[in-house]
Amino acid sequence: MGVKHFNLPDPGEGLVEAEIVTWKVKPGDTVKTNDIVVEIETAKSLVELPIPWEGKIIELLVAEGTTVDVGQPIVSVEVEGAGDQAEPSASPEAEGGAAEGEERVANLVGYGPSASSGKRRRRKGPAESAGAAPGRAAEGVQAVMGQAGGPVAGNAPAQAAAQESPRAPEPVAATGAGPTSRAGAAPGAGVGNGGRPLAKPPVRKYAKDRGVDLAQVSASAGDGIITRADIDAFLGGGGAEAPAAAGEPADGGGGTAYAPPVFSRSGEREVRIPIKGVRKMTAQAMVGSAFSAPHVTEFITVDVTRTMKLVDRLGDDRDFRDVRVSPLLIVAKALCLAVHRNPGINATWDEAAGEIVQKNYVNLGIAAATPRGLIVPNIKDADQMSLRQLADAMADLVSTARAGRTQPAAQSGGTITITNVGVFGVDNGTPIINPGESAILCFGAIRKMPWVVGNKVKPRWVTQLSVAFDHRLVDGDLGSRFLADVAAVLEDPSKALVWA
């Protein structure tokens, strides 16, 4: 029997780090090859990682909520027939996985550190920064995550250290428990030795997402660790004490005290949100697109009454009875038809090669708003699908995105995108082109409006479409013809029979 360290694998797509979201195992668990052991979040998606060996979990080396580099050990496993590996902190070679001269065996595709991981300096955790031994730091991680039967007695400094992010280590007091200097925090009310409230990483994230300052939350448990239930009680008013005396006159008079404006339940005037994950990737991509591709946006207003009638008929059709039919489905089909009539809109500007790469297939991107931010997964070869196949693909895309399970491969290789701002009641917009593409279609809200039909004003279903395109390879003539063709199909869906 020997111990192996499972290193964070390279998630691809040029990503070099990931955040540990949820451990699916705990020390002492037995795992088989390809069992899911941890869920990580990259800049593009949530990913579940399988273990490449069969054995027994010895130790979780990284706490939930911690960001780690590719190639860094995250869990140790006792594997039969394996020789003991050096501890991660024993040598620079051990930090990258296999030691120098040791043969690396690829059990699963993509596992093992990247070529540069052996040169990357491993980040020190707060427990190591404070002089704690690696074994004690691991004990703290284990205790904080609640996977060793509760906190380890007498190891409060290591417990507090394990809760800190390795990106911003803070000194941890080594003295015993006692009154802290934090205002309003009584001993045993969820405040650790370092003056920081005690809470597990998922609970800290839960509080941050709701704008709650943990310093204002009292722990209900005897161990002083704040739980989600304590945060819920605080938000519900059960755990908050109103600072009535803060605004009263010093002499106790009956004058009306000034109450400063409060915009969040926590009372904080500002909230700082780390730029990471999908938000960071989106920002970089949008800035790159906006300042590299000269954008042009055109608009058109369309009578989509016939499309709305078609949507109603399809909803009652036997072939579409078990799938949701929406106007977006018809827009997607209309776009695919318009691309076939105007193939130059479905292209890429290759600066390095000095070429325009025209795609003879449509990988249709659908911009999706998720709790993690905006992502753009795409439907491969959407132009080759029937209307029912396209409906199924869109339903699967949306459900996967909402669950946060969209894989990086599903977000790469797109050729043209639709963004549906109409679901928010917005009429239209000027979208930014998805990087690597040449155009994006914006679909606005559908409203009943007065419309001239045969010299008479009638109520009709009307929407606005806009298309933003890269003027380096799409001129006004091509962009206008493409947008007019999409509008023509929405105005009269029977044109699809003629153009198909």
pLDDT of 242: 36
Give this prediction's pTM. 0.54
Task: Tell me the catalytic residues.
Answer: 471
Per-residue pLDDT of the chain (500 residues; tens, 9 = 90+): 789 999 998 876 667 788 888 899 999 999 999 899 998 887 767 788 899 989 999 999 999 888 888 889 999 998 887 655 544 433 333 333 334 334 433 333 333 344 444 444 444 444 444 444 334 333 333 333 333 333 333 344 334 333 443 444 343 333 333 333 333 334 344 555 456 788 876 778 788 777 788 888 888 877 788 888 888 788 876 544 433 333 334 344 444 455 555 555 666 667 777 777 777 777 878 888 888 888 999 999 999 999 999 999 998 898 898 888 999 999 999 999 999 999 999 999 998 899 999 999 999 999 988 777 788 999 999 999 999 999 999 999 988 888 878 887 888 899 999 999 999 999 999 999 998 899 999 999 999 999 999 899 999 999 999 999 999 999 999 999 999 999 999 999 999 999 87
Give the pLDDT of residue 82: 64
Which residue has 């039919």 as its token pair?
325
The per-residue pLDDT for 187 is: 38
CA atoms within 13 A on the CB side of 371: 10
Residue 44's pLDDT is: 67
Return the pLDDT at 281.
74
pLDDT at site 437? 94
As beta bridge partners, residue 4 has: 77
For residue 456, list its beta bridge partners.
453
Lookup result for tokens 């400063």: 260
Instruction: Report all structural domains of the chain as residue ranges with CATH numbers, in order of start.
Output: 2-123 (2.40.50.100), 197-239+266-274 (4.10.320.10), 277-499 (3.30.559.10)
- In 32-128, the DSSP E strands lie at 36-41, 46-50, 55-60, 67-69, 73-79
Going by C-alpha positions, the residue among 415, 341, 361, 408 that lies closest to residue 15 is: 408
**Residue-by-residue DSSP string for 379-417:** ETTGGGS-HHHHHHHHHHHHHHHHTT---GGGGSS--EE
Q: Which two tokens stand for residue 157?
A: 């400094």
For residues 287 and 433, give the distance between their C-alpha atoms in angstroms, rounded to a whole number. Answer: 10
What is the model's pLDDT at position 166? 41
Q: Measuring CA to CA, which residue among 421, 395, 388, 239 is closest to residue 320?
A: 388
Residues 6 or more apart in contact with residue 305 via CB below 8 angstroms: 460, 461
Ranges of H-type helices in 217-272: 228-235
Number of residues assigned to the chain:
500
- CA separation for the pair 71, 153 (Å, rounded): 33
Q: Which amino acid is at 213?
A: D
Report DSSP state, residue 316: H
Reference 307, options 460, 431, 129; nearest CA is 460
pLDDT of residue 180: 38
The bridge status of strand 36-41 relative to strand 46-50 is antiparallel
